[in-house]
Amino acid sequence: MTNKKVGAARKRAVITVIYHVFTLIFALVMIYPLIWMILSSFKDSNTILRTASQLFPTKWEFSNYTTGMKGFGGIRFSNFFRNSFVISGLSMIGATISSAIVGYGFARCNFKLKQFWFACMLVAMMLPFQVIMIPQYIMFKKMGWIGTYLPIIVPQWFGQGFFIFLNVQFIRGIPYDLDEAARIDGCSVYGIFTKIILPLIKPSLVTSAIFSFMWKWDDFMTPLLFLSNPEQYPVSYALKLFADPSAGSDYGAMFAMATLSLVPIFIIFLTMQKYLVEGIASTGIKG
Amino acid sequence: MKADSAAGVKAVKTKKTFTQKLDTQGVAGYVFILPFIIGFLAFLLVPMIMSLVYSFTEYDILREPTFIGVANYIDMFTNNAKFWDVLQVTLYYVVFSVPLRLVMALLVAMLLVKSTKLSGFYRAVFYLPSIIGSSVAVALLWKRMFASDGVVNGVIKLFGGQGNTAWLGRGDTAIWTLIILAIWQFGSSMLIFLSGLKQIPVSLYEAATVDGANGPQKFWSITLPMLTPTIFFNLVNQLINGFMAFTQSYIITGGAPRDKTLFYTVYMYKQCFTYNKLGYGCAMAWFMVILVGLITLVLFKTQHLWVHYEAEE
């Protein structure tokens, strides 16, 4: 009996070790490309290709970062970063606030045609941008918005499907007792939103904020469509210039700037992972 | 905004002041969702209708559009071989990348459902590619990795292979570099599967163990059927995303070699902004809306055949 128990325990230990070794190797293979890019950005630019199969640089170089930051055609790369922060920041603020307001309307108010508008919201959530990009371009061109940040930022201020949905789910989980108590105390529908609901939905606000920031940070299509002046490019679009034949082939600088462009995402990922995971798990939001 | 006849208001006989009316749910609801209504009309509905109208015209944005009936659609279907080529490329990409990504997501989710001290770390590592995968930075990285002198060939040489394949230079391998990139981003589907797996009642597995079921039997008769709603949800989402893939093809391959990796959306973009045929582009966009809409509809209509919802029991 004891022998059997010891045998079973040993077998379990072996299985645990195999499990961890396998999962760890698998995980390493998965992020190998990223590690390779980050470490390559510290290699001498001329040796990156020759030493592609070697992971660590023989000599750690920071010159790629200084070259990369010089940017293109007299526009420093820091300029692109500033643009990205402006675009992502303003989009984030707009999407978060407007989606919370709209979400409250759907979750707590009864009004005519509510089902109809909710269905419209679901359609807006599912419809990919690629489908409406051409008519939007034509429309913004007629409005004189092409070449400005307006077509990129303004639509974010009218509620985003996924975030509205997230807020609706979250607000529905808050007991009605709170609303009723506030109502008796003479609070208006608007007061209930600002005084009762808003402080309680912080988690869904944070989730909306980090997703909207990350999506805009990575967004390549709207700058490609709506911007024309390199001074205005965000990082995502500026990086593409490294791939242009005219830019030559400074892979070191390219990797350095690509790595740098991922830093804000990494920071959000490391500090806000809980919100990201919950956001995806509860609404199936695309990450 | 004529919501003041809502039930709550009707009940009160005395005429309400403006502020009182504003404070009823029927009116307040519209005040709250007003941003969405404006945005929906201005940035979605109006553009969609405009796009339908433009799809029946020849339009280069400089001159006024001229009405040409269904000529764009006829040209697309009968005259333009490239239209069918890009559709085929896109379908190939979707048919391989979507199921493979889901299988990968499910396998890794099942690996990670076992809770250990390292669970959080593993989850983070497998999720990371999905969160940065659509960025230009990763597209550039992928392009370098699969270059003839890139890291993929380098690793193959390290293991004694030839390592001289021009991955991006051949049609059959170039499309697979894009499919592999899509599979690599299985993280968010994995998280959805992970939360689905955790919702399966342990009692089901215990009962199966008592009945003497082995691992694979449990998987086929408990795990998989219980996960079908999650699989369905992931499938619909990923299919739509798959058809809309743009950045990968645009940056990594640019459609090369010989348009073997030219995605539908990239060709649509080129029609509009390289050849200045915006009417044609709108027709292509509408064809895609209808195609993806139909596929989604078929999936929804056939889900009763394989998707298992608990409430039905």
Across the interface, whether the CB atoms of A132 and B43 are under 8 A apart is answered: yes
* Alpha-carbon distance values, B136 to A65, A257, A278, B141 (Å): 18, 11, 26, 9
B157 vs A contacts (CB less than 8 Å): 53
Q: Nearest by CB to A126, which of B33, B40, B240? A: B240
* Alpha-carbon distance values, A101 to A90, A162, A204, A212 (Å): 17, 14, 12, 16
> Is B257 a domain residue?
yes
* CA gyration radius, chain A: 25
In the numeric block, the tokens 């989730």 are attached to A207
Q: Is the pLDDT of residue B2 over 50?
A: no
- Given CA atoms B251, B257, A47, A75 in this order, what sign does their dihedral have? negative
Amino acid in the structure at residue A151: P
CATH of the domain at B165: 1.10.3720.10
Assess whether B83 and B232 both reside in one domain. Answer: yes
Across the interface, whether the CB atoms of B191 and A52 are under 8 A apart is answered: no
Assess whether B49 and B85 both reside in one domain. Answer: no
Across the interface, whether the CB atoms of B137 and A188 are under 8 A apart is answered: no
In the numeric block, the tokens 């073997």 are attached to B260
How many CB atoms are located within 10 Å of the residue A81 CB?
19
Chain B nearest C-alpha distance from A35 (Å): 11
B54 vs A contacts (CB less than 8 Å): 134-135, 138
Chain A nearest C-alpha distance from B156 (Å): 9
Chain A nearest C-alpha distance from B13 (Å): 20
> Is B259 a domain residue?
yes
Q: Nearest residue of B to residue A48 by CA position?
A: B150
Across the interface, whether the CB atoms of B43 and A155 are under 8 A apart is answered: yes
Q: Nearest by CB to A188, which of B23, B48, B129? A: B23
Q: How many Å apart are CA A42 and CA A63, to the nearest integer?
A: 8
Model pLDDT, residue A248: 63
Q: Nearest by CB to A135, which of B6, B51, B122? A: B51
In this prediction, residues B179-186 reach a mean pLDDT of 92
- Residue of A31, A111, A212, A228 for testing the chain B interface, max B β-carbons within 10 Å: A111
Assess whether B124 and B17 both reside in one domain. Answer: no
Chain B nearest C-alpha distance from A1 (Å): 22
> Is B65 a domain residue?
no
Q: Is the pLDDT of residue B6 over 60?
A: no
Q: How many Å apart are CA A124 and CA A122, to the nearest integer?
A: 5
How many CB atoms are located within 10 Å of the residue B128 CB?
22
> Is B210 a domain residue?
yes
Which residue range forms the structural domain that includes residue B45? Answer: 7-54
Q: Is the pLDDT of residue B282 over 90?
A: yes
B26 vs A contacts (CB less than 8 Å): 109-112
B144 vs A contacts (CB less than 8 Å): 251, 254-255
Assess whether B96 and B233 both reside in one domain. Answer: yes
Closest by CA to A204, choosing from A46, A51, A96, is: A96
Q: Do the beta carbons of residue B211 and residue B123 sit within 8 Å? A: no
Q: Nearest residue of B to residue A101 by CA position?
A: B32
Model pLDDT, residue A287: 47
Q: Is the pLDDT of residue A54 over 80?
A: no
Model pLDDT, residue B259: 82
Across the interface, whether the CB atoms of B28 and A236 are under 8 A apart is answered: no
Assess whether B12 and B130 both reside in one domain. Answer: no
In this prediction, residues B234-250 reach a mean pLDDT of 89
- Tens digits of per-residue pLDDT, A130-184? 889 999 999 999 899 999 999 999 999 999 988 998 899 889 888 888 888 898 9
- Specify the higher pLDDT residue, B80 or A248: B80
Q: How many Å apart are CA B24 and CA A109, to the nearest integer?
A: 9
* Alpha-carbon distance values, B101 to A240, B147, B167, B242, B279 (Å): 26, 23, 21, 11, 35
Chain B nearest C-alpha distance from A90 (Å): 16
Q: Nearest by CB to A27, which of B50, B122, B233? A: B122
How many CB atoms are located within 10 Å of the residue B58 CB?
16
Q: Is the pLDDT of residue B113 over 60?
A: yes
Q: Do the beta carbons of residue A164 and residue B40 sit within 8 Å? A: no
Assess whether B207 and B242 both reside in one domain. Answer: yes
* Alpha-carbon distance values, B131 to A60, A285, A287, B134, B159 (Å): 28, 12, 5, 7, 31
A31 vs B contacts (CB less than 8 Å): 125, 128-129
* Alpha-carbon distance values, B296 to B19, B28, B232, B243, B292 (Å): 45, 35, 11, 12, 6
**DSSP H or E segment with residue B57:** strand B57-58
Residues in Cβ contact with A17 at an 8 Å cutoff, skipping those fewer than 6 apart = none
> Is B211 a domain residue?
yes
Q: Is the pLDDT of residue A57 over 60?
A: yes
Q: Do the beta carbons of residue A47 and residue A251 sit within 8 Å? A: no
Chain A nearest C-alpha distance from B201 (Å): 18
Chain A nearest C-alpha distance from B103 (Å): 15
> Is B164 a domain residue?
yes
Q: How many Å apart are CA A239 and CA A228, to the nearest integer?
A: 15
- Tens digits of per-residue pLDDT, B244-277? 999 888 988 887 788 888 999 999 999 998 998 9
Model pLDDT, residue A284: 64
Chain A nearest C-alpha distance from B200 (Å): 15
Residue A192: alpha-carbon gap to chain centroid? 31
Q: Do the beta carbons of residue B179 and residue B91 sit within 8 Å? A: no
**pLDDT band at residue B57 using 50, 70 and 90 as cut-offs:** very high
Number of domains observed in the structure of chain B: 2
A30 vs B contacts (CB less than 8 Å): 125-126, 128-129, 184
The CA-to-CA distance between both ends of chain A, in Å, stands at 51
What is the token pair recorded at A165? 């949905």
> Is B69 a domain residue?
no
Q: Is the pLDDT of residue A223 over 50?
A: yes
Helix, strand or coil, per DSSP, at residue B159? coil
Q: How many Å apart are CA B115 and CA B111, to the nearest integer?
A: 10
**pLDDT band at residue B4 using 50, 70 and 90 as cut-offs:** very low
Assess whether B46 and B96 both reside in one domain. Answer: no
In this prediction, residues B99-111 reach a mean pLDDT of 93
Q: Nearest by CB to B3, which of A98, A104, A112? A: A112
How many CB atoms are located within 10 Å of the residue A177 CB?
8
Domains of chain A: residue spans and CATH: 2-65 (no CATH), 75-283 (1.10.3720.10)
Assess whether B163 and B237 both reside in one domain. Answer: yes
Q: Nearest residue of A to residue B150 by CA position?
A: A52
Q: How many Å apart are CA A203 and CA A274, to the nearest integer?
A: 10
Helix, strand or coil, per DSSP, at residue B268? helix
Q: How many Å apart are CA A273 and CA A278, to the nearest integer?
A: 8
- Specify the higher pLDDT residue, A53 or A215: A215
Assess whether B257 and B301 both reside in one domain. Answer: yes
B142 vs A contacts (CB less than 8 Å): 33
Assess whether B141 and B286 both reside in one domain. Answer: yes
In the numeric block, the tokens 């059959």 are attached to B172
Q: Do the beta carbons of residue B104 and residue B111 sit within 8 Å? A: no
What is the token pair recorded at B244? 């809309």
What is the token pair recorded at A282? 């509860």
Across the interface, whether the CB atoms of B36 and A258 are under 8 A apart is answered: no
- Tens digits of per-residue pLDDT, A71-97? 887 888 899 999 999 999 999 999 999
- Is residue B52 classed exposed, middle or buried when 0-12, 13-18 and 19+ CB atoms within 10 A define those classes? middle
Model pLDDT, residue A46: 74
Write down the mean pLDDT value for chain B: 86
In this prediction, residues A7-19 reach a mean pLDDT of 87
Model pLDDT, residue B5: 47
> Is B1 a domain residue?
no
Q: Nearest by CB to A189, which of B25, B42, B54? A: B25
Assess whether B176 and B238 both reside in one domain. Answer: yes
Assess whether B40 and B95 both reside in one domain. Answer: no
Model pLDDT, residue B180: 92
Across the interface, whether the CB atoms of B36 and A121 are under 8 A apart is answered: yes
